[in-house]
Amino acid sequence: MISLSDPRIKESLRQAPRKKKPEDPHQMKVNEAPQVSSALFFQYNTQLGPPYHILIDTNFINFSIKNKLDIIQNLMDCLYAKCIPYITDCVLAELEKLGQKYRVALRIIKDPRFERIHCMHKGTYADDCLVQRVTQHKCYIVATNDKDLKRRIRKIPGVPIMYVSQHRYTIERMPDAYGAPKK
């Protein structure tokens, strides 16, 4: 087989030579970097402070029920401050889809102490919704036990993750919290 750079092939079908043009040392170099949130001071998120705003995922509620943990009380015990739990429409829709088995979780969510956040996007995939909301606004702590969602949120700087571990709530990536894992 003849290579595309072979001189026997017509000029119009021939592959361009691989030689790079020498860079002009006087030309200004441009690097594209995403805009870093003004809330971050290095890796520390300055927007986090009491009262804490906590976005709750579906499986966090289910794990809390399995471990017999009162959500609001244990949030306050973990962070030593007032906490406002937030539920998005996607999480509510996800719980409604799960059916009768999860009616206790639905009943807990409908408590007036839980704030509702209305979603403007199409679809009911809660993980995408939470990641999108946290990327836009860095003032939330995400409460989840989902490994994939945790992995996605760890890529976003300055967003703490709360999860259920050893029959209590634990928080990671938040240096001044009581429930933070010891190193």
pLDDT tens string 65-114: 999 999 999 999 999 899 999 999 999 999 999 989 999 999 999 999 99
Indicate whether 105 belongs to any domain. yes
How many angstroms separate the CA atoms of 111 and 115, rounded? 9
Owning domain of residue 109: 49-172
Indicate whether 12 belongs to any domain. no
pLDDT of residue 12: 80
DSSP 122: S
Indicate whether 119 belongs to any domain. yes
Q: How many residues does the chain have?
A: 183
Indicate whether 17 belongs to any domain. no
Range list of β-strands (E), the chain:
40-41, 44-45, 52-56, 83-88, 115-117, 140-143, 161-165, 168-172
DSSP 100: G
Locate 82 and state its tokens: 């007032």
72, β-bridge pairs = none
Contact 134, 153 (CB under 8 A): yes
The parts of the chain modelled with pLDDT lower than 50 are: none
The answer, as to whether pTM is greater than 0.85, is no
How many angstroms separate the CA atoms of 52 and 82, rounded? 6
Indicate whether 180 belongs to any domain. no
Indicate whether 82 belongs to any domain. yes
Locate 3 and state its tokens: 């290579």
Locate 173 and state its tokens: 């990536």
Overall domain count for the chain? 1
Indicate whether 88 belongs to any domain. yes
pLDDT of residue 181: 61
Sign, CA dihedral 40-42-46-47, equals positive
pLDDT of residue 182: 61
SS3 59: helix
User: In the chain, count of helices (H) and strands (E)?
Assistant: 6, 8
For the domain that residue 71 is a member of, what is the CATH number?
A: 3.40.50.1010
Indicate whether 114 belongs to any domain. yes
pLDDT of residue 11: 78
